[in-house]
Structure 1
């Protein structure tokens, strides 16, 4: 998977899956533009990546999205790969305790943020003659999860957007795919564990890991490897797809 001199734009790049992907693309010779909400978090995360373009932005704000796309093109001339990864899990509560504010916050980042990124990156990719996009969905986009209705709704939406946009741009030499991880050993999973514990669940990590046939969380690098494959020329006939990466969870009969 040769990304030498390819331009890769990644949102949610200051930690977790986004940072793991950034490091792997950079190691393969890519020029990386990294987007996250806070500049200081980006600077700390990207300290070992020479030449990385660091861009602070709120992905749910269209002016910020226009800005991160424009600055990437200004710096590097094009966008070959877009990893549309920024997301939050929101509050872990049953529907009777959910708030409108929590729903709006989760949907703003996870759905509006994904849609705006696609809107402006696709426009650039059409101008330059093509590109590859990987959206971060979740196994929560395929299944339910008690207490996480806002998050689950948002990730179902990401899969729907992924399918629709892939069809819209198939004739423009732009491929659009999604990854659907189960639990990944990142800070987001720590937050979900804490929320589950606060809701009365004991040994949350043990409970979550025991539900995975392979018996553990994924590592961020494992998700990043799938992202690199889907955005590489080795996946040249794959578009509109969404790939489970869930340690066998998708094979469990219900």
Structure 2
């Protein structure tokens, strides 16, 4: 419907909501889009006297997508060429992910190699969702293949059985995927421990988007500064 050139180099395409990639999945062939949740869970909004800082995306400076469309960050040829293969573009590699099966076991970190991470977790018998508030930063990434992120996971199953299924959301700085070192909003999913299913944002079928102002994979700002202003982003995932 329209295309918007972002100051960070992205091209944002405003695609009609019914033409988004998620509908390429055969199980969604006759899907009816639910534009609004049937309810909002308690605790969704802050009960604070502190005025929140407005978080925005860079492409908003040059325009907005019209009603009944969703903004999709355009995938360019050079984006795909940075990946090891077309098949792996936009996917996580299982060997590079924190092992959620061992999150309650002590870990002796090796700061020179591997995936360094810190995890807080809770095990719930009947999980209907979760909410997290993340401090926004723009960490320095020294090498092109490195990345840094903050995210939430909602998981079921296990790595050992290759039946781990997840819903993930947060922010990341990932030059290998986005070609720059900007802080970007992302989502992810898998249903087989990252072996063959799942991908970042809208790179494959799995999510249906309804909002016409938020670009998955788009740059977000402002970010926090050491000893200065602090900025947070709230992410809520729940089952309707």
Q: TM (normalized to structure 1)?
A: 0.27
Does 1 or 2 have the higher relative contact order (CA < 8 Å, sep 6+)? 2
User: Higher strand proportion, which one?
Assistant: 2
